[in-house]
């Protein structure tokens, strides 16, 4: 494949290395000095820029008829707008809060555990996430996805709140409570996410810890291969669940 890469930071560099190892070429790189460049002639685009640029880059790709894999987070308030653009342009967009294969399997475990724990009212859930100091959004898109999935799989929880923001909901309140997320930024931590279910007697914790960026980059390239597979004509808005089957 000939790939248009939007965003040439550390993740972009990791994607370049993985793509070349898998026999692909980076046909163009778009960064601050050539922002707004269309991916005309490319087989697929991979977008890992900044939240404020993501939707504009997605639009560029859709206008050019180029399928795009979006790894930037922090733009999800515009997801409905992107969905409309995909429908209008008959285009292809694959987005994920995290492209790591391990994290996406972790998402599935989280959904299953949440469904099992919902009837166990003595347990309350809490999310913890740690990332490097360069990450712009907090909580992370991965943490929000974990919270959203707990919301979808339980009746006791609805939405999410960042720890320290807003009034905590009393346990006796019968209304669904938001999933509380603790977010920390330190050093060069690639990413660590934990979901804890705690009672007065014990605690269940599931954790995913990344050791570097290669896992994220590999997942993004695999997603691009899936989306741009010439044997398939994929059109619509997709996620990593579609890739994993």
Known catalytic residues are 131, 135
Contact predicate 72/54, CB 8 Å:
yes
Other beta carbons within 10 angstroms of residue 206's beta carbon come to 15
Reading phi first (left if > 0) and then psi (alpha if -120 to 50, else beta), residue 90 is in: left
d(CA 55, CA 134): 21
DSSP state letter for 161: E
DSSP conformation class of 81: H
- Residue 141 dihedral angles phi and psi, to the nearest 5°: -60, -35
Tell me the C-alpha distance between 185 and 227, whole Å: 33
* Cβ proximity of 218 and 243 under 8 Å: no
| Cα separation, 106 vs 102, whole angstroms | 6
Alpha helices in 5-119 (DSSP H): 10-21, 51-63, 79-89, 101-117
Report whether 113 contacts 208 (CB < 8 A): no
């Amino acid at each position: 494949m000939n790939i248009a890469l939007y965003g040439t930071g550390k993740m972009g560099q990791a994607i370049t290395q993985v793509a070349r190892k898998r026999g692909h070429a980076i046909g163009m790189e778009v960064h601050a000095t050539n922002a707004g460049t269309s991916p005309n002639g490319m087989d697929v685009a991979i977008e890992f820029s900044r939240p404020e640029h993501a939707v504009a880059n997605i639009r560029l790709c859709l206008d050019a008829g180029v399928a795009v894999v979006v790894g930037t987070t922090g733009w999800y308030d515009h997801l409905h707008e992107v969905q409309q653009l995909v429908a209008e342009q008959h285009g292809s967009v694959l987005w994920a809060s995290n492209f790591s294969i391990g994290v996406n399997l972790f998402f599935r475990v989280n959904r299953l555990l949440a469904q099992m724990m919902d009837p166990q009212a003595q347990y309350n859930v809490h999310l913890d996430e740690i990332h490097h100091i360069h990450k712009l959004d907090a909580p992370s898109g991965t943490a929000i996805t974990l919270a959203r999935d707990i919301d979808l799989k339980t009746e006791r929880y609805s939405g999410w709140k960042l720890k320290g923001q807003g009034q905590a909901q009393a346990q006796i309140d019968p209304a669904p409570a938001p999933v509380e997320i603790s977010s920390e930024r330190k050093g060069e931590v690639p990413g660590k996410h934990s979901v804890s279910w705690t009672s007065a007697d014990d605690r269940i914790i599931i954790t995913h810890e990344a050791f570097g960026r290669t896992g994220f980059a590999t997942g993004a390239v695999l997603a691009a291969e899936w989306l741009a597979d010439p044997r398939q004509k994929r059109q619509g808005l997709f996620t990593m669940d579609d890739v994993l089957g």
